[in-house]
Amino acid sequence: MTHRSNYRALLLACLSLGVFNAGIIHSADAAQKAVTEQPKAGPDKIHGKVTAVIEASAYTYAEVDTGKKKVWAAGPTTPLKVGDMIGFSTAMSMKNFHSQSMQRDFPLIYFVGRFVVDKKAATSKAAAIASPHSRIRQEQVAKAVKGISKAEGGSTIAEIYAHKQHLDGKTVRVRGKVSKFTPGVMGKNWIHIRDSSSPDDLTATTEGKAAIDDVVIIEGKIGLDKDYGYGYVYPVIVEGARIIKK
């Protein structure tokens, strides 16, 4: 009798444990299904005011104040100005990014396909200030130009960027193909050239004139980390360049 009672108690315990385990499995399956069925969240958007702009090669770097913090984003060359209100996607971010062209580190930066500029801000007084890049042909992809040889007694663009610290304040001579030219901004003409040594372009201020796709030689003094106001900072630039057409 005692043996039968013990057997019955053991059977009830097993049944109870089976029901309990089934409940756990059912709950886990339901939770997993709920997680699986949840819609995937898309990338966030960041909106804020531009507080700094850096032009580098075919990219525009913008520092943006969101009201809570300042963040950096890089996108295709865009005529942005300090004070512009812009937005962009956070889909592609990178931590501890090192820019070789600028020799600068960014703890966090967002790479974007485009900057969305607030049209109302673009008509404000601050936005009315002309940008050196507002009337130039935009190039979305940086690449070296074939067939541009080094100027006699001069340097290539790659050599200038590689040895920029030793060239600060010194006169350089560079041959390149004009990729951008904007006249009469802030009392200067602005020329960008590319050669076969590097995908990066080289910017110069000048009183001379040139047309896009002209092959020219520029001669002028190297300046480092030059700030021309309104957030336009150039890590490397040739100032007061003379243009020699070849």
Q: What are phi and psi of 27, to 5 degrees?
A: -65, -40
Q: Which helix (H) or strand (E) holds 122?
A: helix 119-122
pLDDT at 121: 47
Does one domain contain both 240 and 165?
Answer: yes
CATH classification of the domain holding 94:
2.40.50.140
**What's the CA gap between 225 and 168, in Å, rounded?**
10
Calculate mean pLDDT across residues 218-229.
88
Domains: count for the chain: 3
pLDDT at 184: 82
pLDDT at 100: 75
pLDDT at 231: 53
pLDDT at 213: 92
Does one domain contain both 72 and 16?
Answer: no
Please write the tens of the pLDDT for every residue from 31-70.
444 444 444 444 588 999 999 998 876 688 999 999 999 9
Does one domain contain both 31 and 53?
Answer: no
Q: What is the pTM of this model?
A: 0.49
**What's the CA gap between 35 and 155, in Å, rounded?**
59
Residue 177 has pLDDT above 70, yes or no: yes
Residue 245 has pLDDT above 60, yes or no: yes
Does one domain contain both 170 and 223?
Answer: yes
Residue 115 lies inside a defined structural domain of this protein: yes
Question: Which residues in the chain belong to E strands, given as ranges?
Answer: 45-56, 59-65, 70-76, 85-89, 93-99, 104-111, 116-117, 171-185, 188-194, 202-206, 215-227, 232-245
pLDDT at 232: 65
Residue 148 lies inside a defined structural domain of this protein: no
- The parent domain of residue 104 ranges over 45-128
